[in-house]
A and B are shown apart, each in its own frame.
Chain A
Amino acid sequence: MPPILEVRRLRKQYADLMAVDDVSFSIPAGVCFGLLGPNGAGKTTTLEVIEGILKPTAGDILYKGQPRTAAFKNEIGIQFQHTALLAMLTVQETLQVFQSLYPAAEDLEHLVNRCQLGEFRHQRHENISGGQRQRFLLALALVNRPQLLFLDEPSTGLDPQARHNLWDVVNQIKADGKTIILTTHYMEEAQQLCDTVAIMDHGRIIAQGAPEALIRDHCEGVTVVLPRRRFTQAQGQPSLPYRIEGDTVRILPANIDDALRELMGLKIDLSEMTVQSPNLEHVFLNLTGRQLRE
């Protein structure tokens, strides 16, 4: 069975800027695939070329093993990062308008319940909050019962509560068996939602795989973080590899048990110690030397 989506050597060039440079990946049906990278990495452009909003400069895009046809639009759902909608309509009316544009439509009540729109379904969409708007835009993306769902930075600008709320909804959609492609620059979001992640930088994919595999392949293990003033009170010279960053000391032990035993042996006060597991942020840092949100 072919992957639901296959992208081969995709390129998108604007004058002097190569926004997407030789990008290839393949997505099996039913997974959540994340494009992770900083702003300007080419994630949204990649997504919009696949969606058919932009024309590619070069490369192939196959949907279910075939080039995309006009029917492709009927089978995909899109949540844009920035969008505007028809003015002066309520949330429910807008959903009904979009339902009517497709040959097959999702049940309105199901959408309202799934995306938690009940409280504001009769309000004008211009008047709802940021979190409500993101859930509403997600409902719009689901209005045609898509097999492939594109979410472009779905939680950007949301407070932590609204973000977790949105993640719950996306996880339910995942559980329905839909294939999701999302872009994000939040490593936590990618780790929470994605089965596979492609990390993009300057229009290229620099690493690709399951989040755990990427972390395992590109990070050194846990990091022990201590206040520098505690570390300097050590009764003896530590043998652990460490580096000093301002007021903190970051220790990168090969084995956490051995490291803790050594630190206790040196009589260092560990009451302010934290142990950090590596994440996709560290993967990006190790690959590019930069933070994701720089």
Chain B
Amino acid sequence: MAIKRIWVMFKARNYEFFRDKASFGWNFLFPFLLVAGFGILFGAREYVEYKIGVFPAPPGTLDTAAIEIPEGLKTTRFLQFVGFASQEAAVAKLRHHKIDLVIQAGPAPHLYWVSDSSHKGYLVEKILQAGLMPPEIPAAFRKGRVASAPIRYIDWLFPGILAMNMMFSALWGVGYVVVRYRKNGTLRRLKATPLTAFEYLSAQMLSRLFLLMFTLAVVWFGCDLIFEFNVLGSLADIFLMFFLGSLSLTALGLVLAARGVSEEFTTGILNFISWPMMFLSEVWFSLEGAPEWVRQLSQIFPLTQLLQGIRKITNDGATLVEVLPEMGILAGMTILFLSVGAFLFSWD
């Protein structure tokens, strides 16, 4: 192994990345736009679980003080009240599941409508009925409290978007690029030199790691300046976890790059791997409540391990010791993928 050859190939790959201005810019812009978009959509607003249509009332979001509905409903959190001029207009929205329940404003008895096919409608109906319960019934229960800092959706989503961007960049930046080089004959030209496959693959991997961590740092601190994320754990631990994730995802990219000669086929394989990984690794939504086999399946993805570790650190303030299982699995995956990639690799 010659460090000099790895270094020169590392530099050459970095030149390619930094000089391709469009691709370079997009690498930073894409995650930033996603975070900014979700920040604007969800960041500043209070969390809303259910929407209740009220008629007759002025259109738009209603102030509960100004409408005559059961008091228990008014004081329940996470409900949004939307005004409609008529019953027909409100029920039409209910029929299309745009709202979860319709109630007529005015004195008791209160008239309300729910959709039989809406599970949210079923639940909000129970909330409505609970609000009408006599006070002695809740007294039969004892309540315990858990103190926790509020976690905004953007705080939960932000690591997911960064990890997803990392996944796409690792898989495409290594898998697709090496296949393109194989197809256009660049690898064949390099094969004629003393450069070994191990040196070439090491340079590709190191270059991508450097670029991933560089992008991560820029996007993380850039977004944090704007959104002021709540991070309970250590920033160094977070970056170490991301580094391990980058390693395993880049190594997976090397497996995909090992043999392919068709860019179209490689695109298909990359999509086949990256899309399920994106949806089942809790980038966008939690898998709590999903079937057990889906949750078990999600554990085979490096992105899942990465995100579990990152969220434990950012949202729960976990230390490195507490995320050792995720770190160990990521390290194991890296070794496995590297071994398979190196074994399968072909210049031709």
Contacts and interface: CB of A to CB of B under 8 A. Distances in A.
Given A84-B184, A85-B186, A86-B12, A100 B194 contact: no
Contact of B193 (A73, A82, A87): A73
Contact of A98 (B20, B191, B193): B193
B337 to A, nearest CB: 24
A88 B16 contact: yes
B328 interface: no
Nearest to B347: A53
B108 interface: no
Contacts of B9: 97
Given A80-B188, A84-B186, A102 B12 contact: no
B186 A101 contact: no
A196 to B, nearest CB: 24
A103 B190 CA distance: 15
A285 B189 CA distance: 35
Chain B's interface: helix, strand, loop or mixed, by majority? helix
A39 interface: no
A83 B193 contact: no
Contact of B192 (A52, A85, A89, A103): A52
A53 B8 CA distance: 22
Interface residues of A, number: 25
Contacts of A52: 192
Given A73-B192, A103-B194, A97 B8 contact: yes
Contacts of B19: 88
A73 B185 contact: no
Contacts, number: 63
Given A84-B181, A88-B20, A97-B12, A51 B4 contact: no
Given A74-B194, A87-B16, A101 B5 contact: yes
Contacts of B185: 80, 82-84
Interface string A98-109: 101111000000
B192 A53 contact: yes
A83 B16 CA distance: 18
B195 interface: yes
Given A101-B8, A102-B193, A53 B188 contact: yes
Interface string A16-58: 0000000000000000000000000000000000011100000
Which of A53, A74, A88, A93 gathers the greatest number of chain B CB atoms within 10 Å? A88
Interface residues of B, number: 25
A200 interface: no
A86 B186 contact: yes
A78 interface: yes
Chain A's interface: helix, strand, loop or mixed, by majority? loop
Interface in B1-48: 4-5, 7-9, 11-13, 15-16, 19-20
Contacts of A76: 192
Contacts of B20: 87-88
Nearest to B183: A84
A235 B112 CA distance: 122
Contacts of B192: 51-53, 73, 76, 78, 80
A102 B194 contact: yes
Nearest to B177: A87
Contacts of B193: 73, 98, 101-102
A53 B191 contact: yes
A85 B19 CA distance: 15
Contacts of B188: 53, 80, 83
Contacts of B191: 53
A250 B346 CA distance: 55
Contacts of A80: 185, 188-189, 192
A88 B15 contact: yes
Contact of A85 (B13, B15, B189): B189
Contacts of A96: 8
A139 B214 CA distance: 35
Interface in B170-214: 181, 184-186, 188-195
Nearest to A101: B193
A89 B16 contact: yes
Interface string A243-282: 0000000000000000000000000000000000000000
A97 B11 CA distance: 9
A204 B192 CA distance: 25
Nearest to B194: A73
Nearest to A137: B189
A84 B194 contact: no
Contacts of A82: 185
A209 B155 CA distance: 78
Contact of B189 (A73, A83, A88, A93): A83
A70 B16 CA distance: 30
Q: What are the nearest 7 A-B pairs in CB distance?
A: A84-B184, A100-B8, A88-B19, A88-B16, A101-B193, A84-B186, A84-B185
Interface of A: 51-53, 70, 73-74, 76, 78, 80, 82-89, 93, 96-98, 100-103
Interface of B: 4-5, 7-9, 11-13, 15-16, 19-20, 181, 184-186, 188-195, 348
29 contacts: A51-B192, A53-B348, A70-B194, A73-B192, A73-B193, A80-B189, A80-B192, A82-B185, A83-B185, A83-B186, A84-B181, A84-B184, A85-B186, A85-B189, A86-B16, A88-B16, A89-B15, A89-B16, A93-B12, A93-B15, A96-B8, A97-B9, A97-B12, A100-B5, A101-B5, A101-B190, A101-B194, A101-B195, A103-B194
